[in-house]
Amino acid sequence: MNTMWARWALALRLARRDFSWRFRGLRLLIVCLFLGAAALSAIGTLEGAIRGELATRGQDILGGDIEFRRYGQPATAQELSAMHALGAVSGGVRMQAIASVGSGDDVVGAPVQLKAIDDAYPLYGELTLRDGRSVRAPPRGEAWVDPGLLDRLDIDEGASVRLGETQVRLTGLIESEPDRLSEGFSLGPPMLISEATLADAGLVQTGSMARFKYRVKRPADTDVEQTAEAFTERFPIAGWEYRTRDRASPGADRLMANMGQFLTLVGLAALFIAGIGIAGAVTSWLESRRTSIATLKVLGASSGDVMRIHVVQVVAAALVGVIAGLVLGYLAVPVLASLLEGMLPVEARFSFDVLALARAAGFALLVALIFAAPPLIAAREVTAMALFRSGAGGRIAVWRAAALPVGIGIALLIALVLLGARDPLLNLWFIVGAAAMLGLLAAIGLGIKRMARVLPKTGAGLAVRMGLSSLDRPGAPTVALATALGFGLTAFAAIASIQSALDRYVASSVPEVAPDYFVIDLPSGDVDRFAGLVERIAPGSGVRAVPNLRATIIAYGPADAMTYVEDLEDVPEGAWALNGERGVTYASAVPDGNTVTRGEWWSEGQGASEALVSVDEELARPIGLNIGDRLRYSVLGTEREAVVASFRTIEWDDLGFNHVLVFSPGAIADAPHNYAATVSLAKGADRRALLSAMVREFPGSAVIEVGAVLTQARDILGSMAAAILAAASVTVLAGLAVLLGAIAAARARETYETVVLRVLGASRAQVLGALAVRYALLAGLLALVALALGSLVGWGVMTGLFDLPFRPDWALVLGVLAGGAALVIVAATAASIPVLRARPASALRSL
């Protein structure tokens, strides 16, 4: 043991004497590790800061320690008493509504996210207005609104708007709403009113799509999950759902999980690509030190001493790159947070996340170990003969010796990737895919060498013959160049396919035939009157109205062996409809855009008298449902049961009313409910007149313009696409580093061979032409490979990570690949120009 420490101490002393702190020859290694460490540290620190903020502000975001909620029904006296027994309670109502101004044909309306609150709101945090006031519920007849509503209605603060059956004066502009994030996606600016004002408006009727929420305050040391479960078990068919302070905003959690997962994979991809550059940089550096290594051997240094000396120097350079990357990544978090301000769920506070930085450093150093170990071990094999003849000793296979450190590095890298991963399977597939891609590109490089050997060269120009020969000569860097170019071009193809697929998805998010308006909470007795109004003002326009109810699935399966949802430890993948309440409807005929795939649709008489249900086959499959099974469900706290009559496929993209569960009228029509309707305007219809009439004649219904909603969705998707492009650009930078590394690794041998060609009479132009031919052949062949690999990566990201269709713009992808290949040819040829400047006399002296 003492001998080993002494040898490492000697290596450290010799390395320090020999080392250039300008890092000549190892700068590319530093750049590669710098890029990877910076990307991963910035991603990890930003994600950790946001997750920490979500966890710290859980009570404020939720508005309590526990939130109980359900549609259509307020809490009964017994349920409310049970809540008050748990702690302080703040109750309220959330629903979609229309605020309007004007009269007669000049009525102008705008959708609002209505929020009725009591005097106990908020239990945590502060509700503040722009004038600096910290307030609770507004007085009766008044409202506090988001400034965006004033812009949409073209009114000023203090104006009055019509809300249902009453007039409400806007007396304050909301500055900060503590629980805004937990409310989720909004179809309009928020409007806060008191419960008394909501009653005056008459918007909440039996069957209305109103969500009743009750927040409960509990002591800090309480197990809120257990408390919430006990409450829901006490009222099992009441339809209560709950959230706790530990998961105040599941949507934001999912957003950060998906974004963090994607960005981490992007950073790892960049680091993995940069690893090829690391291998090239270390190889080139060691090649330039062959004389020094041979001298050490002559002076008595063992092969182990040589390796240890250079390991110390490589580790020093690696630490510089990693530490610099960590510092930049950490300092970049506030800048990234400001750039992504509109996309992040909360403000990312500047925090020091040791775990994120350590994880990033671990990734970078392990990649450095994996890719630098083979050339470092190869350095042991340089013989003393290299002091007297360049190239002595040849290239000796070192993979057997390198297998142990490389294997350890790969094992540790896999463990680090899987440690704490939100989707271990996806991460594992990434590692397997990256390794397979590396092996495939190396095999393709060997294939190109063999192809260059057998291709006929007769009749080809001198530059072509020289270019083909350079691919197959002894020691040719064809495999390294193929790997480098393949990774770089694959990154180009993947980015182009993902970006164009996202752009195309955004552009096609509106189907060719889409409704112009959604109308919610249309009273069941007013459906015909509503259709008549539309026909009178906009003749030829289409109206489709469907019953709108909420139901919770309680159990399913054969009558004698039903599976109860509450007994499931984990909901089957794809069975999202089992989680809480879902929108349902009933119908006598198969709904538009639906196709029955198994079973039979009920006849009119059968549907009116029997309790039957048709189920989306995408739900039936994961839960093992069969025709004839029973489905037990709860509607407005009443438990019911229906027989599964058929399965359907659903066209979700038509923006119509689509329901996972469609019941027969006999199963559910007697439950109190309203209708929802879509309006598709005829060509030339007076849009403004119809909107004014709908708002005026049906003040209790919410009219939503589809175009405005889709514009909002497009903006979100567009921002996401831009963020993806910006993040993925790191892989392009890594690809360029890889290319430079591969060229640098071969520079010494290229210089030697160029000098030989010059001595034999070749001109600089001929040598440069041969290099251009070589890179053109490689780039052309590898562009085809990159098209397949990049498309595969794009498909995996779009369908597996984002759950979106993969429909890229192939013309754009091909154009980007062609441009990338041209850039590679120019950059690689230009990077080889210094080789042409080598003086023959200087090179020949080393022979």
Query: How many domains, the chain?
Result: 4
776 & 815 share domain: yes
What lies within 8 Å, CB to CB, of 152 at 6+ separation is 110, 189
Of the pLDDT bands very low, low, confident and very high (cuts 50, 70, 90), residue 198 is: very high
Of the pLDDT bands very low, low, confident and very high (cuts 50, 70, 90), residue 396 is: very low
Tell me, what's the pLDDT at 710?
A: 66
**Element spanning 552, H or E:** strand 542-557
292 & 317 share domain: yes
797 & 823 share domain: yes
pLDDT higher at 727 or 182? 182
408 & 325 share domain: yes
Strand 581-586 and strand 661-663: the pairing is: parallel
Q: For residue 692, tell me if it sits in a domain.
A: no
339 & 392 share domain: yes
Q: Which of 108-112, 113-117, 768-772, 787-791 has the lowest mean pLDDT?
A: 768-772
Of the pLDDT bands very low, low, confident and very high (cuts 50, 70, 90), residue 182 is: confident
Q: How far apart are CA 53 and CA 741, in angstroms?
A: 41
Tell me, what's the pLDDT at 196?
A: 92
156 & 13 share domain: no
DSSP lists the bridge partners of residue 552 as 581, 634
Model pTM?
0.68
Q: For residue 697, tell me if it sits in a domain.
A: no
Q: How far apart are CA 33 and CA 270, in angstroms?
A: 10
Q: Write out the DSSP string of 130-145.
A: TTS-EE-SPPTTEEEE
pLDDT > 90? residue 663: yes
Q: Which of 113-122, 362-371, 574-583 has the lowest mean pLDDT?
A: 574-583
Q: How far apart are CA 784 and CA 807, in angstroms?
A: 19
Tokens of 1: 């043991």
pLDDT higher at 250 or 97? 97
Would you give the distance in Å from CA 650 to the centre of its chain? Answer: 26
75 & 53 share domain: no
pLDDT higher at 238 or 444? 444
474 & 583 share domain: no
Q: For residue 524, tell me if it sits in a domain.
A: no
309 & 377 share domain: yes
What lies within 8 Å, CB to CB, of 425 at 6+ separation is none
Q: Could you tell me if 541 and 535 are in contact, meaning their C-beta atoms sit under 8 angstroms apart?
A: yes
Highest mean pLDDT of the ranges 218-222, 308-312, 418-422:
218-222
Of the pLDDT bands very low, low, confident and very high (cuts 50, 70, 90), residue 59 is: confident
Q: For residue 536, tell me if it sits in a domain.
A: no
H helix intervals, 541-616: 604-609
Q: Could you tell me if 825 and 775 are in contact, meaning their C-beta atoms sit under 8 angstroms apart?
A: yes
Residue 372's nearest CA partner among 324, 405, 411 is: 405
Last residue in a domain, options 422, 454, 482: 422
Q: How far apart are CA 284 and CA 729, in angstroms?
A: 26
Last residue in a domain, options 422, 440, 468: 422
Q: For residue 533, tell me if it sits in a domain.
A: no
Last residue in a domain, options 208, 224, 247: 247
Q: For residue 96, tell me if it sits in a domain.
A: yes
Please measure the distance between the N-terminal and C-terminal CA atoms of the chain and give it in whole angstroms: 42
286 & 232 share domain: no
Highest mean pLDDT of the ranges 137-146, 201-210, 573-582:
137-146
Structural domain of residue 650, as residue ranges? 542-680
Q: Could you tell me if 427 and 734 are in contact, meaning their C-beta atoms sit under 8 angstroms apart?
A: no
pLDDT higher at 548 or 463? 548
Q: For residue 146, tell me if it sits in a domain.
A: yes
Q: Which of 514-528, 571-585, 746-760 has the lowest mean pLDDT?
A: 746-760
171 & 256 share domain: no
pLDDT higher at 675 or 273? 675
94 & 238 share domain: yes
| Residue entry with tokens 């549609």 | 71
> How many CA atoms are closer than 13 Å to the CA of 257, on its beta-carbon side?
13
Q: For residue 402, tell me if it sits in a domain.
A: yes
